[in-house]
Chain A
């Protein structure tokens, strides 16, 4: 099986453009009628649905950002009636507020198709056993890949995250030929296999679909060598649907964007003007076929480039490069999106109501992301008793885990030792080399 949906994946560019145009026109009409928040944006610039005649008109449309999701929490951007929404997902937001996404039946079907296409791109078929070790729950990773694997007709193993020893047992005994998880978890599994004395030859794994965090080519090579598989990069974000917005093909030379459903643009991160293929900028998506919570020109904050150069795999869909960086200060730590402001609010909200100077250091040790938060000990939090200071450290670590879901190490340091600056304080250092 080479393609899941050959008609779409290998469609000639002209026909694809016609499909995109039709869908955009319908989408804009639908959103204008059903999403007051976006109607207001269009009204503000004097734009009517009739002004959008095809995909080339897309740059006339106003942008949407994560702030729109926050402002309309929880269901304000739902363009379908609540009874037609069959699922919600959510991810943590910067201010403790979740960003919520709603899906209709058709949205779930489209999304499952994207994941099924992705699995086929990684060499899977209806005969495959797909081990899904992304977390199941509000996070889109687990359920997204799960529905895709089922749609493909593969035997789906909903392992979810955690309990690595059991995961390895399942991989071995059930003979999974593909593994879906974050790339850092794949390496963790390799580490644990070594400790348990399980050799890669004992597994039937052929491919891995790894995503939800940035990773490097070196990491890909390491995963491929240690697990004896081909490692594919799968891209997605919950706002647009989840995993399966774009996916590596067998050439592993850029991820094909499923353009029939998600129209990609690159814009200049300063001027917001559209940029051409091959030019670096911020990636923007329009969900061409969504009903539950369609987004128009949603700014992902991810920086990359697009190319329409033909691909040897036969697909005509444009490809995106790796994400080079972000236009905001979001950090992705072991697949969890974290904003420094969230960490700050946890520090400020602790019972001691401390207003400490802090500094965040993100690193990658043995291929695992680590995050250390140095906190200056001032008189408000200082105690002459060791146990009080250790309790404070533990409490902050606990709060960071329960509020943001990260395993951070808090380190208490002397006053006036962390960097300070006149303007916006530089409080984050990311030592990971990708």
Chain B
């Protein structure tokens, strides 16, 4: 019950991100959600799409270093405190969060949160126990 994410290494230099988005756009890939973690020297672009296998292939063919990572995906009501509900459960159960990002599904009044945690199996169990809605596809 996890969501696949693609992470790509990019140097923190002018034009690098747009070069990559051009490659993805030309291949007809629709980005569902995207986030960038950056340092002075490099960035890690992380995103999810509907066809991660194809994305991985396209990126490698174009000389990028990319990798697939399993994330936890949860869907919460798009209301105040929605994210906190989930974080509280993870925190109380000593699950550490490496990073997260989210996007809203406005038409459904829902928000999707994607997590990278230190212990995915444990997180899955405690989230299920607390009735939080896990998703595997977006």
Q: Do A and B bind?
A: yes
Tell me which residues across on chain A come within 8 A of B42, comparing CB atoms: 377, 389, 412-413
Known A384-B5, A385-B99: A415·B64 in contact at CB below 8 Å: yes
Query: Chain B contact residues (Cβ within 8 angstroms of A): what range?
Result: 20 to 34
Tell me which residues across on chain B come within 8 A of A390, comparing CB atoms: 39
Known A384-B67, A385-B116, A415-B65: A377·B41 in contact at CB below 8 Å: no
B-contact 0/1 string along A84-125, CB 8 Å cutoff: 000000000000000000000000000000000000000000
Task: Across the interface, name the chain B residue whose C-beta is closest to A416.
Answer: B63
Distance A228 CA – B65 CA, assembled complex (angstroms): 54
Tell me which residues across on chain B come within 8 A of A413, comparing CB atoms: 11, 42
Query: Chain A contact residues (Cβ within 8 angstroms of B): what range?
Result: 10 to 19
A-contact 0/1 string along B1-31, CB 8 Å cutoff: 0000101011100001000000000000000
Interface residues in A348-401 by Cβ distance below 8 A to B read 377-379, 382-386, 389-390
Interface pair B9/A377, CB less than 8 Å apart: yes
Known A412-B42, A414-B11: A379·B67 in contact at CB below 8 Å: yes
For residue B48, give the distance in angstroms from its CB to the closest CB of chain A.
12
Interface pair B41/A414, CB less than 8 Å apart: no
Interface pair A386/B46, CB less than 8 Å apart: no
Interface pair B67/A386, CB less than 8 Å apart: no
Tell me which residues across on chain A come within 8 A of B37, comparing CB atoms: 386
B-contact 0/1 string along A408-421, CB 8 Å cutoff: 00011111110000
For residue B86, give the distance in angstroms from its CB to the closest CB of chain A.
20
Task: Across the interface, name the chain B residue whose C-beta is closest to A387.
Answer: B98
For residue B122, give the distance in angstroms from its CB to the closest CB of chain A.
18
Interface pair A384/B7, CB less than 8 Å apart: yes
Interface residues in A30-59 by Cβ distance below 8 A to B read none
Tell me which residues across on chain B come within 8 A of A383, comparing CB atoms: 7, 44, 67
Tell me which residues across on chain A come within 8 A of B98, comparing CB atoms: 385
Interface pair B44/A414, CB less than 8 Å apart: no
Interface pair A382/B99, CB less than 8 Å apart: no
Distance A386 CA – B39 CA, assembled complex (angstroms): 8
Tell me which residues across on chain A come within 8 A of B67, comparing CB atoms: 379, 382-384
Interface pair B65/A382, CB less than 8 Å apart: yes
Task: Across the interface, name the chain A residue whose C-beta is closest to B11.
Answer: A414
Residues of B within 8 A of A (CB): 5, 7, 9-11, 16, 37, 39, 41-42, 44, 46, 63-67, 69, 98-99, 116
Residues of A within 8 A of B (CB): 377-379, 382-386, 389-390, 411-417
